[in-house]
Amino acid sequence: MDYQHIVVLTGAGISAESGIPVFRSETGLWENHRVEDVCVPSALVRNPKLVHDFYNKMRSGLKTKVPNAAHRAIAKLQQEWPQRGGSVTLVTQNIDDLHEKAGSMNVIHMHGELNSLWCTACGKRFFFDGESSPDMSCPYCGKPTLRPDIVFFEEIPYHMDEISAALSRCSLFIAVGTSGVVYPAAGFCQYARAQRALCVEFNLERSAVATNFNYGLYGKASITLPAFVEHLLRTGEPLTQQ
Ligand code: APR
């Protein structure tokens, strides 16, 4: 089997067609906020209520969002590729739950998850889909030291060991809807290329790291990705053009 181990990296673009705005656009997810007010560790010290409220709003918005055909195509690949002896590792930079809603299992959320809180005193993380506040007590240790379980700028992404292990054995690397400007995720393609993996990007336009990929399929991911997955499952070969 030529493309036994597949790694899929997704970014905000895959959820755009589900109604979640991407980060780097005029009406981006940061809305009227500066990144340094809501997405750096010092913001939690300076104005914790603003940080909690910002993620509360995003979290409550998730409830009505549904996955699109691109999320579903990845879930299908994850279900069917192992039946042929392969593996699919799904790494997302997204903090939404649309991969899970589409049926994906073992989603690696390298930038954290909206539906999770983290206690900085006892270290526990737990599912949470309500409204948090800085004075809320941790259900495990009782201290008011909870924060949204989001990886802020200046912090190290989660699960890097697991991601490196998957990249080091991967034979096909797919990046979907990511601009390629935020590291370390933007560097995954180079790492996969060094392992001789075939690397394909799916985007509306060439990303900042497009030259690192073998080729790209450009257009809406809800169209390009299902076609790619169907072809891969039917023939065992990656589609090279639409
Ligand atoms: N289909 C495919 N690609 C799309 C679509 C679509 N329907 N809509 C938008 N895109 C592409 C855009 O062209 C852009 O390249 O998705 C990309 C989104 O880029 P960003 O907004 O920069 O999102 P992302 O790459 O996920 O950002 C990385 O940066 O702000 C931090 O932590 C945050 O995880 C985020 C990280």
Read off the pLDDT of residues 78-87 as tens digits, 9 standing for 90 and up: 999 999 999 9
Q: What are phi and psi of 173, to 5 degrees?
A: -120, 130
pTM (2 d.p.):
0.96
pLDDT, tens digit, for every residue of 61-76? 999 999 999 999 999 9
Q: Where does the pLDDT of residue 127 fall: very low under 50, low under 70, confident under 90, or very high at 90 and above?
A: very high
Helices (H), the chain: 12-16, 35-38, 41-46, 48-62, 69-80, 98-101, 160-168, 188-194, 221-235
Provide the 3-class DSSP secondary structure of residue 212.
helix
Residue % of the chain over a pLDDT of 70: 97
Residue 101 CA to residue 74 CA, distance in Å, equals 12
Asked if 214 and 220 count as a contact pair (C-beta separation under 8 A), the reply is no
Radius of gyration of the chain (CA): 18
**Residue 82 burial (C-beta neighbours within 10 Å; 0-12, 13-18, 19+):** exposed
Ligand 1 within 6 A of CB of 18: no
Counting atoms of ligand 1 from 1, which one is nearest the CA of 93?
34
Q: Where does the pLDDT of residue 35 fall: very low under 50, low under 70, confident under 90, or very high at 90 and above?
A: confident
Residue 98 CA to residue 214 CA, distance in Å, equals 28
Which residue has 């700028």 as its token pair? 153
Can you tell me the mean pLDDT for 144-153?
Answer: 97
Q: In what order do the strands lie in the sheet with 87-92?
A: 108-109, 87-92, 5-10, 172-176, 198-203, 215-218
Can you tell me the mean pLDDT for 161-188?
Answer: 97
Q: Any residues with CB less than 8 A from the CB of 237 and at least 6 apart, and which?
A: 2, 3, 231
Q: Cα of 122 to ligand 1 centre, how many Å? A: 33
Q: Any residues with CB less than 8 A from the CB of 38 and at least 6 apart, and which?
A: 30, 50, 51, 54, 55
pLDDT of residue 156: 97
Q: Rounding to the nearest 10 degrees, give the CA dihedral for residues 194, 199, 205, 208.
A: -10
Q: Where does the pLDDT of residue 21 fall: very low under 50, low under 70, confident under 90, or very high at 90 and above?
A: confident
Q: Cα of 84 to ligand 1 centre, how many Å? A: 31
Catalytic residues: 111
